A and B are shown apart, each in its own frame.
Chain A
Amino acid sequence: MTAFRNRPARLLTGPALLLALGLLAGCNKDEEVVAPSVANEAITTMTLTVTNAANASDTQTATWEQLLDAQGNPVASGPNYSQANLTLKANTTYNVAVGLLDKTQTPTFNVGEEIQERANIHSFFFQPLPTSQALVIPAPTGADTYPLPIPTPAPTGNPLNLTVNRTDRDTNNPALPVGLSDQFVTGAASTGYLRVVLRHQPNVKDGTYAPGSTDFDAGFKVAVQ
């Protein structure tokens, strides 16, 4: 019994030292370095480059943009749609290229090229508004709204005389439209809006809008004259 008398203290020295070391090791300051916010799947900007099929010099671009703050959330000022305007000639066919950018990255990253790579799981949908036909893209439900500048609810009345045909195809079997390259065909003079939505449809792409989820939703003001 005597042999053990003063042993507790001695036996605990080892563990105590280990503990102290462990606690000291914990005192680095890595948490004080704040990593920048990176959204891996951010798209900030959509550009429509519209070229008259009959006149290559008749070209225009329209841009819709939503920038992000330091925490990756939409900037408080909302989307910038001041350049999201298209003025098209009546009864004309246009070739259209859709561009997507991520301006949160430096240098700006061209997301459009990457969507081309992943064409089999992505699909663009175009919704002219007002329209007299069935909606391709369902109207926002609940508290959701159309992307500005499209008002919610969307205007009714004389339809925007614009037909959009997606001209590119993916490598699914059967091949399905992608929508990075399109043809806009205008009718008689009219005004309205064009909603463009990029859907992410992994393993479920079937040419329809419903499967998958929305990656990007933008609106443009269109005048056919």
Chain B
Amino acid sequence: MGLGLLLASGGLSRAWGQGAPGPACALSVAGRVLDQRTGEPLPGAVLRLSAAGATAGPSAASPLTEAADADGHYHFHQLCAGSYVVRASFVGYAEQVLAVEVRGRLTTLDIKLKAAPGQLGEVRVAGEQPAATPLVSQSQTTLSGAALQQTRGQNLATALQGITGVYSIQTGPTIAKPVIHGLYGNRVLLLNNGVRQEGQQWANDHAPEIDPFTATRLSVIKGAASIRYGADAIGGVVLVEPAALPDTAGVGGEVNLVGMTNGRLGAASAFVQQAFPADTALGAGRGQPRAGLLRGLSYRVQGTLRRAGTARAANYYLTNTGLAERNYSLALGYHRGIVRTELFFSRFDTQLGIFAGSETGSINDLLAAIERPRPLTPDQFTYAISRPYQAVVHQLFKAKATAALPGGGRVEATYARQTDARSEYGSQLPYNPALGDVPDLFLSLTSHTLDVAYLTPAAGVWSVTAGLSGQTQANIRQYQYLIPNFRNYGAGAFVLGKHRGERLTLEGGLRYDYRWLRAFLTDVTTGRVIQPTTVYQAVTGTVGGLLALGPSLSLTANLATAWRPPTVNELYAAGVHQSAATYELGNPDLTKEQAYNASASVLYTTAQLEGEVGGYVNYFRNYLYLEPSGRYIRTVRGAYPVFDYTQAEVIFRGLDARASYHPTQRLTLTSAASLLWAWNYSANDYLIYAPPNRWQNSVRLNLGGPAGIFRQSYVGVNNLLVARQNRTPASGDYAPAPAAYNLWGAEAGTILHAGPRVLDLSLTVSNLFNREYRDYLNRFRYYAADLGQNIQLRLRVPF
């Protein structure tokens, strides 16, 4: 820490040197004040801005003073160029003092305050790096604080579903995957605590193996982000980010409890964390003996239990849709001198029941199920999970070291090992009792990834990030054949540069990737093991810019290319996909998929109105997809339509728009629309499973005055309108797209203050009027309706 302070002051003195007064004093500083741990806004936090050193402007004795609004936003306008100091303070939090250099029209400075139970002393923090947004010219939406709190207890994809441009593809109520701008599966990269999530992402009924309770921020980057994250980040990236480990002394933690009526779901999650700060003894830099070994150590222990029984559609139970989840994670940080080391381990263990009514012998059973107004399965509630179900255990071990370089840059190295064990249990026990209660399909995937990145100081006009990454994976299957065993090696190198001008920030990057894949499978004609090997490589690039057109208006535009190699299932699959009632056939001659992505958006932010309109075009060459072949294969259970993995020239075009209006301090009106149009040029037809157009509206009223027990209370109503998907392909689906639907919801919440304790309590009702509906992207819409009314109660107690 001693060194950190030295570095920070070094930065300040350089800033003074450059502090020539700007031509016009019409610059602004704006941002949000947030709780460092939860990311929740801190309305009423006080900000004092004064000029640093020689810069003309408000003095430290008579600073400009602002208070953060209901969403934690603050603004300082009419500033001259130069160096300033911002002091942020709020009751119960440690004051933070930050240096800010004002150069462009709008300087954004988000301030994160640390809860300081019992101590209100001043804590100086030397530039903790915020979670780096790799590209400023791409649209990124983050759920944190109260918005994230409202999704607690739900799975990852459902939690993200409220974000404009984000949908989810479901396989019944237990399994959901995020869809960004119409793309999902291997086209959406999940970054769990900075590590590429490596599970069996290729199938629609494989949900992300991530516990959202580990995160205090869930972010979605919309658009191709291959440049930073490599192959697969075509549609976008989902970032699951835990809070930084604490670095102020003391033990803290949080307990979260969630109860839901639908499925009688109960979830409990808690964490405890502690730090032995390195900076308590400021002596290190002054030549005093270093304090004990524990100095600089911090840890967090976190665990989640989630259990639900049979979910219920509006008018009947969805038999066997329970779930049981047990997760935990351990994080250990050590900060000494310029090196910060972090070890992280997490285990995610879930058992997901699959709706019993989805079991079909063949297309015949499926068509009969579509004909029925409601499934024939028993209409009862139980917590028991029986066949068919999935059991998945995902473990992640991560070691990360960050070295802060003299001069402000840093080097990061991250190694991660992941194991993903997936067992899929079919509708009945093996006939042969000697086989035992074994799954029908078992897949074990072990992945090792190593990433090294160098980042120049973020404060300068120019900043550069460069990195290397390497990866190897082994997959082993047992029982059924669906995908083969394989080994893969990957390597990549990238460089990203950014130039911050007065009004215009420009960025660009280049990346090279190499992928080697060898499969091991039995040839059906010779009976011998064959080892087909494929190699793919690609160069991707991106250019983008952000133009500030004033304190409240900015424009962004981005062009990016992205790619992904064909996955093993696309190359070598051969077999019946039971829940989809299809026979899927891979093609070993497939080539890489190449995407060209263009996006642009306009962002307008004032105290009263916040709006963003963004358009995008995603053009693909060799888009990999399952094409109905028109052929049928007959097994002993009946006929299945054959789908071939093939490639096509396709385009996705869409528009996301969102506006949030505060006519008064208390009232917030929000409206968001997501439109999408997907077309397959090769087949001259629409693409299947394109998310239908969607329009969300909400009204929220903040109650209570500035003080009093209910000062942070709110009530709200919301409405979701999902249009019928009329743009569906002529073949490949068994039933027409379901009708449009309109769902109402309601919410209320408060933060109760009981002495030093805070209780965050909220009540949410989704599908308020218990409407029966089916969603186009729920692959079980053939068998049953979607979820009925769900009343959710959430309690959060930080300590």
Residues of chain A touching chain B, judged by Cβ–Cβ distance below 8 Å, are: 1, 4, 7-8, 11-12, 15-16, 18-19, 22-23, 26-28, 30-44, 66, 69-74, 78-79, 102, 105, 109, 111, 114-115, 118, 121, 138, 140-145, 147, 199-200, 202-204, 210-218
For A18, the chain B residues whose CB sits under 8 A away are 399, 415
Check B522–A217 contact: CB distance below 8 A.
Answer: no
Q: Which of A22, A203, A204, A214 contacts B364 (CB 8 A)?
A: A214
Check B523–A70 contact: CB distance below 8 A.
Answer: yes
C-alpha gap A33/B486 in the complex (Å): 10
Q: List 24 A-B contacts (CB under 8 A).
A: A4-B337, A8-B405, A15-B341, A23-B448, A23-B450, A27-B472, A31-B476, A31-B486, A32-B485, A32-B487, A35-B477, A39-B440, A44-B636, A71-B524, A72-B575, A109-B431, A142-B363, A144-B632, A144-B634, A145-B634, A199-B361, A200-B361, A214-B637, A216-B636
For B285, the chain A residues whose CB sits under 8 A away are 1
B: interface residue count bin: 35 or more
Check B448–A40 contact: CB distance below 8 A.
Answer: no
Q: Counting chain B CB atoms within 10 Å of each CB, which of A23, A44, A138, A143 scores highest?
A: A143
Judged by a CB distance under 8 angstroms, whether B71 is at the interface is no
C-alpha gap A23/B474 in the complex (Å): 12
Check A22–B415 contact: CB distance below 8 A.
Answer: yes
Judged by a CB distance under 8 angstroms, whether B515 is at the interface is no
Q: Which of B356, B440, B583, B635 contacts A203 (CB 8 A)?
A: B356
Interface string of B371-405 (1 = CB under 8 A from A): 00000111000000011000000000001010101
Q: Which of B364, B479, B529, B637 contacts A38 (CB 8 A)?
A: B479
CB distance from A136 to the nearest CB of B (A): 14
Closest residue of chain A to B447 (Cβ to Cβ) is: A26
Check B632–A26 contact: CB distance below 8 A.
Answer: no
CB distance from A39 to the nearest CB of B (A): 6
Closest residue of chain B to A78 (Cβ to Cβ) is: B634
Judged by a CB distance under 8 angstroms, whether B123 is at the interface is no
For B486, the chain A residues whose CB sits under 8 A away are 31
C-alpha gap A4/B524 in the complex (Å): 62
Judged by a CB distance under 8 angstroms, whether B430 is at the interface is yes
Not counting A15-B399, A41-B426, A200-B359, a sample of 5 additional A-B residue pairs whose C-beta atoms are within 8 angstroms of each other reads: A34-B522, A142-B364, A145-B639, A203-B319, A215-B637
Closest residue of chain A to B530 (Cβ to Cβ) is: A34
Q: Which of B339, B399, B531, B637 contacts A11 (CB 8 A)?
A: B339
Check B365–A213 contact: CB distance below 8 A.
Answer: yes
Check B368–A138 contact: CB distance below 8 A.
Answer: yes
C-alpha gap A140/B367 in the complex (Å): 10
Check A40–B440 contact: CB distance below 8 A.
Answer: yes
Judged by a CB distance under 8 angstroms, whether B665 is at the interface is no
Judged by a CB distance under 8 angstroms, whether B702 is at the interface is no
For B575, the chain A residues whose CB sits under 8 A away are 71-73
Closest residue of chain B to A5 (Cβ to Cβ) is: B406
Check B399–A37 contact: CB distance below 8 A.
Answer: no
Check B480–A70 contact: CB distance below 8 A.
Answer: no
For A26, the chain B residues whose CB sits under 8 A away are 417, 446, 448, 472, 474
Check B376–A204 contact: CB distance below 8 A.
Answer: yes
For B474, the chain A residues whose CB sits under 8 A away are 26, 28, 30-31
Judged by a CB distance under 8 angstroms, whether B336 is at the interface is yes
Q: Which of B426, B448, B450, B633 contacts A74 (CB 8 A)?
A: B633
Q: 8 smallest A-B Cβ distances: which pairs?
A: A214-B361, A40-B430, A213-B361, A144-B639, A71-B481, A31-B485, A70-B522, A37-B481
C-alpha gap A122/B57 in the complex (Å): 85
Within 8 A of A (CB), among B560-618: 574-576, 583
C-alpha gap A15/B377 in the complex (Å): 54
C-alpha gap A56/B575 in the complex (Å): 44
C-alpha gap A190/B641 in the complex (Å): 35
C-alpha gap A144/B339 in the complex (Å): 65
C-alpha gap A166/B527 in the complex (Å): 42
For B484, the chain A residues whose CB sits under 8 A away are 34
Known: A147-B634, A217-B361. A19 touches B431 (CB 8 A): no
CB distance from A83 to the nearest CB of B (A): 16
Judged by a CB distance under 8 angstroms, whether B478 is at the interface is yes
Check B522–A71 contact: CB distance below 8 A.
Answer: yes
Check A141–B364 contact: CB distance below 8 A.
Answer: yes
Judged by a CB distance under 8 angstroms, whether B664 is at the interface is no
Q: Which of B336, B413, B521, B632 contacts A34 (CB 8 A)?
A: B521
Q: Which of A23, A30, A43, A144 contacts B362 (CB 8 A)?
A: A144
CB distance from A107 to the nearest CB of B (A): 11
Judged by a CB distance under 8 angstroms, whether B338 is at the interface is yes
C-alpha gap A43/B634 in the complex (Å): 14
Known: A12-B413, A31-B476. A143 touches B637 (CB 8 A): no
Known: A31-B486, A71-B574, A203-B356. A12 touches B403 (CB 8 A): yes
CB distance from B98 to the nearest CB of A (A): 23
Check B427–A213 contact: CB distance below 8 A.
Answer: yes
For B413, the chain A residues whose CB sits under 8 A away are 12, 15-16, 19
Main secondary structure of the interface of A (DSSP, over half): loop
C-alpha gap A119/B452 in the complex (Å): 60
Judged by a CB distance under 8 angstroms, whether B214 is at the interface is no
Check A19–B432 contact: CB distance below 8 A.
Answer: no
Closest residue of chain A to B319 (Cβ to Cβ) is: A203
Check A72–B481 contact: CB distance below 8 A.
Answer: yes
For B739, the chain A residues whose CB sits under 8 A away are none
Judged by a CB distance under 8 angstroms, whether B475 is at the interface is yes
Check B636–A19 contact: CB distance below 8 A.
Answer: no
C-alpha gap A218/B486 in the complex (Å): 37
Check B450–A111 contact: CB distance below 8 A.
Answer: no
Judged by a CB distance under 8 angstroms, whether B281 is at the interface is no
Q: Which of A109, A115, A210, A213 contacts B637 (CB 8 A)?
A: A213
Q: Which of A1, A23, A37, A204 contacts B377 (CB 8 A)?
A: A204
Known: A34-B485, A70-B523. A144 touches B377 (CB 8 A): no
Q: Which of B6, B364, B524 contacts A144 (CB 8 A)?
A: B364
C-alpha gap A11/B484 in the complex (Å): 41
C-alpha gap A111/B432 in the complex (Å): 7
Known: A26-B474, A200-B428. A66 touches B636 (CB 8 A): yes
C-alpha gap A22/B400 in the complex (Å): 13
CB distance from A208 to the nearest CB of B (A): 9
Check A40–B426 contact: CB distance below 8 A.
Answer: yes
Closest residue of chain A to B485 (Cβ to Cβ) is: A31
Check A34–B478 contact: CB distance below 8 A.
Answer: no
For B626, the chain A residues whose CB sits under 8 A away are none
For A121, the chain B residues whose CB sits under 8 A away are 428
Judged by a CB distance under 8 angstroms, whether B3 is at the interface is yes
For B529, the chain A residues whose CB sits under 8 A away are 34
Q: Which of A7, A37, A39, A138 contacts B522 (CB 8 A)?
A: A37
For B428, the chain A residues whose CB sits under 8 A away are 41, 118, 121, 200, 202
CB distance from A162 to the nearest CB of B (A): 23
C-alpha gap A38/B479 in the complex (Å): 4
For B3, the chain A residues whose CB sits under 8 A away are 1, 4
CB distance from A74 to the nearest CB of B (A): 5
For A22, the chain B residues whose CB sits under 8 A away are 415, 417, 448
For A4, the chain B residues whose CB sits under 8 A away are 3, 337-338
Check B633–A73 contact: CB distance below 8 A.
Answer: yes
Check B361–A72 contact: CB distance below 8 A.
Answer: no
Q: Counting chain B CB atoms within 10 Å of each CB, which of A28, A79, A102, A109 scores highest?
A: A109
Check B432–A102 contact: CB distance below 8 A.
Answer: yes
Within 8 A of A (CB), among B622-653: 632-639, 641
C-alpha gap A66/B603 in the complex (Å): 63
Check B527–A70 contact: CB distance below 8 A.
Answer: yes
Check A214–B638 contact: CB distance below 8 A.
Answer: yes
C-alpha gap A74/B472 in the complex (Å): 34
CB distance from A225 to the nearest CB of B (A): 30
Check B480–A37 contact: CB distance below 8 A.
Answer: yes
Closest residue of chain A to B341 (Cβ to Cβ) is: A15
For A147, the chain B residues whose CB sits under 8 A away are 634, 636
